[in-house]
Chain A
Amino acid sequence: EAQVTQNPRYLITVTGKKLTVTCSQNMNHEYMSWYRQDPGLGLRQIYYSMNVEVTDKGDVPEGYKVSRKEKRNFPLILESPSPNQTSLYFCASSYGTSGRDTQYFGPGTRLTVL
């Protein structure tokens, strides 16, 4: 089944404790992206990647890192999480490199930073 998977689905952590949320897609998509979703704000892009080893900042990159060492995986790293990073996170992928193709979303990761 073609899908985007994220792990973990739920995470509660404390301020300053480094964490990684994994994202993997099995559709051989070039473009991958991370979003955060907060009430009343819709989805805001954190980082995106057009290809392996190519990443770029989205609208709200502060406090986040990403890497794209292989096509299928695009982990989101919070080096020192803070309470304002409590949010619902979605990973997405799409076929082409530009991001103009239909994006397929993972099930989401709900993160709480205490």
Chain B
Amino acid sequence: GESVGLHLPTLSVQEGDNSIINCAYSNSASDYFIWYKQESGKGPQFIIDIRSNMDKRQGQRVTVLLNKTVKHLSLQIAATQPGDSAVYFCAEMGEMDSNYQLIWGAGTKLIIKP
């Protein structure tokens, strides 16, 4: 089946620095991508999404970049804070049998060093 994967399972960043979390996807027909944040003991929480007709989208302290040529997605977090410590998942929306299904990556753990 299709797969979405992450380059780094763990990312350690100094507090105040910017973080970049990368993700590769394999289904070139996917047209919707989402980043979720999962804190310890909680369910995934929506951060930001992007559609395939865009290559960049900004939120509050977060930016998602989409490079369809190389099927790569990244999440940039500006001025990381202790509260940003979590596992981050990218997911792509793929169509299967006329229904849309979220395909999840394995996750990247972001550790913020004081």
Partners in one complex: yes
Name A's B-contacting residues (CB within 8 A).
Answer: 4, 40-45, 48, 50, 56, 58-59, 90, 92, 98-100, 102-108
Are A42 and B102 within 8 A (Cβ)?
Answer: no
The answer to whether B99 touches A50 (Cβ under 8 A) is yes
Query: What residues of B have a CB within 8 angstroms of the CB of A90 in the complex?
Result: 43-44
Which residue of the partner chain, among B4, B41, B43, B101, contacts A105 with CB atoms under 8 Å?
A: B43
Nearest residue, chain B, Cβ from A107: B43
On chain B, the residues within 8 Å of A106 by CB distance are: 43
Query: In the complex, which of the residues A4, A42, A50, A59 contacts B89, with contact meaning CB atoms closer than 8 Å?
Result: A42
- Give the docked Cα–Cα distance between A89 and B101 (Å): 17
With A42-B105, A42-B106: A100-B46 Cβ-Cβ less than 8 Å: no
Name the one of B46, B101, B105, B106 contacting A58, with C-beta atoms under 8 angstroms.
B101
For B86-104 the 0/1 string (1 means CB < 8 A from A) is 0001010100000111101
B102 and A99: CB pair below 8 A? yes
Q: How far is the CB of A5 from chain B (nearest CB, A)?
A: 11
Residue on B with the closest CB to A102? B46
B114 contacts across to A, CB distance below 8 A: none
B41-63, CB < 8 A from A: 41-46, 49
CB distance from A42 to the nearest CB of B (A): 4
- Which residue of A43, A50, A56 contacts B104 across the interface (Cβ within 8 Å)? A43
CA of A108 to CA of B40, assembled, Å:
11
* B42 nearest CB neighbor, chain A only: A107
**A63 to B41 alpha-carbon distance, docked (Å):** 25
Question: Is residue B34 contacting chain A, with contact meaning CB distance below 8 A?
Answer: yes
Q: A43–B44 contact, CB under 8 A? A: yes
C-alpha gap A99/B102 in the complex (Å): 8
Partner of B44, one of A56, A98, A105: A105
Q: Which residues of A contact B107 (CB under 8 A)?
A: 42
